[in-house]
A = this chain, B = another copy of it.
Amino acid sequence: MGKSQKAETMFMGASTKQGYNIASKSREIVRSLIADKIEGLSEDEKSIIERIVHSTADPEYASITKISDNFISESINAIKDEKDILTDINMVKAGINKYEGQIKCYISNEETIKLAKEEQITRAAAAIRIAHDNGFDGIIVIGNAPTALFEAINLVKNEGMEVRSIVGVPVGFVGAAESKEVLKGTEIPNIVTEGPKGGTPVAVAVTNSLIRLKNG
């Protein structure tokens, strides 16, 4: 199996020749749209941002996506070690593929629903706390809920939660921008999308890019 065959089964989510042709044409268009905005970034950083723009058809992500210096290397190390990936919602979990380790999401667990009610917090935030209670160690991927991102930062800072990196791309007009600014100010290796935008396709694009980067 030659190199081009391998590319066909891996490239930007495409798994057939037809899908590969579409993804390949899409990448050309994405590059023409955002090349000037991502000039000076590393090849790995560019590949992540290109995949976000490919997945959302929204070139604005080239301007608002910010990657901390150690994010890619720390994330790839965690993926090599097959550390857990924790997502805030099941939609994000459903989009991540070809990962050798475990992908976890506690939002529908009974413990989570109970904790949310008791502590008067969102289920998304409670789900992160339940993960910590269950000995989580790995990468956190937040594609939806700012409350989950705030809780993750809190648990890292105050309760020693073992977090290798955070994909922090919650979406919305209430708290999302603020939660991402707080994350940027921490020592946690991170990627964020500044402002209200973000969401499941962004979270999935970043995570699948990292898995692909690890595979080389």
Contacts and interface: CB of A to CB of B under 8 A. Distances in A.
Nearest to A198: B57
Contact of A22 (B26, B94, B95, B122): B122
Contact of A173 (B18, B29, B89, B204): B29
Chain A residues touching B, range: 35 or more
Contact of A123 (B19, B54, B116): B19
Interface in A22-61: 22, 25-26, 29-30, 54-58
Most buried by B among A16, A54, A117: A16
A171 B201 contact: yes
Contacts of A54: 172-173
Nearest to A27: B173
A147 B91 CA distance: 22
Given A22-B122, A22-B175, A55-B199, 11 more contacts: A15-B123, A16-B122, A18-B116, A19-B124, A25-B173, A26-B173, A29-B173, A57-B197, A89-B95, A90-B94, A91-B91
